[in-house]
């Protein structure tokens, strides 16, 4: 860093916005602090202020999303229709039930190897793991200290941002995953959002799951 570089607290919000805007990808808070030659605590505080400001501003089409210790600037989900008019609708082939099952196994047991995933599922998962890597929902996380040094896999920051959670610690308890298929998890997330293009959260998933349980109980009572 140049010795004459100095940024004030008043300049910090604009500087952070510029970094996130140009980067496009999630940027670690510690890296931002290093770039701006300031404390990580000041960076995190400013980021939290910016996130609240964007969230509360109905006239802004941008938002800042946190994924673990990294932050990314992105368009609000509510602007999806506008962007489709700019770029055209983008269709992505839906993942199979087996893909969502594999994703769930990795999410709840990460980091884990292909062999460990296959031990849980009982079938080969090579091609599915490759598809999840291409989708950007999982990534390699080093190698297991064992013969052959097999690759370890974990969920990515893209997985966190697309599912609207800050950390894998925010994943719902396993007992809440009792859907007919693992793929129903994504459907429940979208239904929990009221069918609107807005950020999906684990809280909304839990509320949706509770509503399903209440409806099931009412149906059972009615049958009796």
Question: Which tens digit of pLDDT belongs to each residue from 50-99?
Answer: 999 998 998 999 889 888 888 989 888 788 788 878 877 666 666 777 88
109-155 per-position pLDDT tens digit: 888 898 888 887 888 888 889 889 988 888 998 888 888 888 999 98
Residue given tokens 């941002």 in the structure block: 161
CATH dotted code for 97-216? 1.10.10.10
Residue 70 sits at φ, ψ, to 5 deg, of -120, 160
- The 3-state DSSP class for residue 94 equals coil
**Model pTM score:** 0.54
The CATH T-level fold of domain 12-83 is: Arc Repressor Mutant, subunit A (1.10.10)
pLDDT at 4: 78
Confidence band, pLDDT 50/70/90 cuts, at residue 5: confident
Q: CA-CA distances (angstroms) from residue 149 to 111, 128, 154?
A: 14, 21, 16
Is the pLDDT confidence value at 190 over 70? no
Give me the residue spans of the domains in the chain: 12-83, 97-216
């Amino acid at each position: 860093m140049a010795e004459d570089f100095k940024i004030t607290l008043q300049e910090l919000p604009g500087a952070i916005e510029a970094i996130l805007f140009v980067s496009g990808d999630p940027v670690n808070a510690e890296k931002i602090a290093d770039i701006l030659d300031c404390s990580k605590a000041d960076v995190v505080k400013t980021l939290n202020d910016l996130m609240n400001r964007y969230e509360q501003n109905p006239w802004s089409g941008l938002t800042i999303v946190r994924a673990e210790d990294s932050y990314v600037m992105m368009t609000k989900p509510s602007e999806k229709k506008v962007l489709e008019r700019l770029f055209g609708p983008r269709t992505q082939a839906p993942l199979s039930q087996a893909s969502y099952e594999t994703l769930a196994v990795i999410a709840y047991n990460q980091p884990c190897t292909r062999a460990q995933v296959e031990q849980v599922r009982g079938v080969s998962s090579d091609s599915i793991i490759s598809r999840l890597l291409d989708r950007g929902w999982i990534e390699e996380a080093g190698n297991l200290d064992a013969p052959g040094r097999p690759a370890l896999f974990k969920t990515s920051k893209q997985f966190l941002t697309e599912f609207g959670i800050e950390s894998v610690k925010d994943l719902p308890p396993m007992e809440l995953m009792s859907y007919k298929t693992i793929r129903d998890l994504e459907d429940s997330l979208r239904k929990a959002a009221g069918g609107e293009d807005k950020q999906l959260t684990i809280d909304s998933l839990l509320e949706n799951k509770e509503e399903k349980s209440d409806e099931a109980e009412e149906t059972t009572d009615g049958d009796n």
